[in-house]
Amino acid sequence: MQVTVRYYGFFSTVTRKLYETLEVKEGQKVKDLIENLSGRYGYKFSQLCFIRPLYSDREYANICLNALDLNSIQKFPQGLETTVKEGDTVSFGVMGGAA
């Protein structure tokens, strides 16, 4: 199945792309996708995915799923274990600016 991946900010520096369409297996989770892309684009990619923002003692996943912040427990109770579906858009580097 196909998903769209968008790269913002430093992610686009590392991947040299603004977006791409990926072919992924059914039932793949967000964390699998991250591993896949880190394998392709190097350790810098995974470094950018997980950051320690100011004033926080937790790591923050710099990722949105369909324009929603993946760190929102209300919207994504399973967090990185959330399954990706056909036609989803996964955005890297939007920095909390999604709804």
Partner 1 sequence: MVDGWTGRRLRVDLSMGTVKVEEIGKSYREKWLGGRGFNSELLYREVGPDVDPLSPENKVIFGIGPLTGTFAPSSGRTTVTARSPLGGGFGDSNMGGHWGPELKFAGYDQLVIEGKASKPVYLWIDDEHVEIRDAAHIWGRNVPEADAIIKEELGSKEIHIALIGPAGENLVRYACILNDVYRAAARAGIGAVMGSKNLKAIAVRGTRSVTVSRPDEFYQVCADIRERMKRDLMVQMLYDQGTWLLTMPANYEQGWFCWHNFQKGFHPDADKLSGENHRDNFLSHREGCFACSISCGRFSKIKEGRYAGEITGGPEYETLTAVGPRIGLLDMDKVVHNSKLVNELGLDSCSCGGAIAWAMECWEKGLLTKEDTGGLTLDWGDQTLIDRLIRMIAFREGFGNILAEGSSRAAELMNRGKDYSISVKGHDMSQDDPRGLGFAFGIGFATGRRGGDHLQGLPCLELTGGFYPGLVEKILGTNEAEDRLSQVKKPEMEKYSEDLKAVGDSLTQCTFTHNWSFAVQPEDMVRLLSAATGMEISADDLLRIGGRIIHLERAYWNRLLVGCMEDHCPKRFTQEPMPEGPNKGIIFPEADLIPRYYDVRGWDRQTGFPLPEVLMEYGLEDIARDLEPFREEYRKKALMETQTEVQMKVQTGEKL
Binding site for partner 1 (CB under 8 A): 6, 8-10, 12-13, 18-19, 51, 53-56, 58, 60, 62, 64, 67, 69, 71-72, 91, 94-99
Which contiguous run of DSSP H or E holds residue 65? strand 63-65
- Indicate the residue among 8 and 41 with the shorter CB distance to partner 1: 8
- Indicate the residue among 86 and 99 with the shorter CB distance to partner 1: 99
- Indicate the residue among 45 and 91 with the shorter CB distance to partner 1: 91
Q: How far is the CB of 40 from partner 1 (least distance, A)?
A: 19
> Which residues, 6 or more positions from 16, have their beta carbon under 8 angstroms from its beta carbon?
none
> Which residues, 6 or more positions from 77, have their beta carbon under 8 angstroms from its beta carbon?
none
- Amino acid identity, residue 6? R
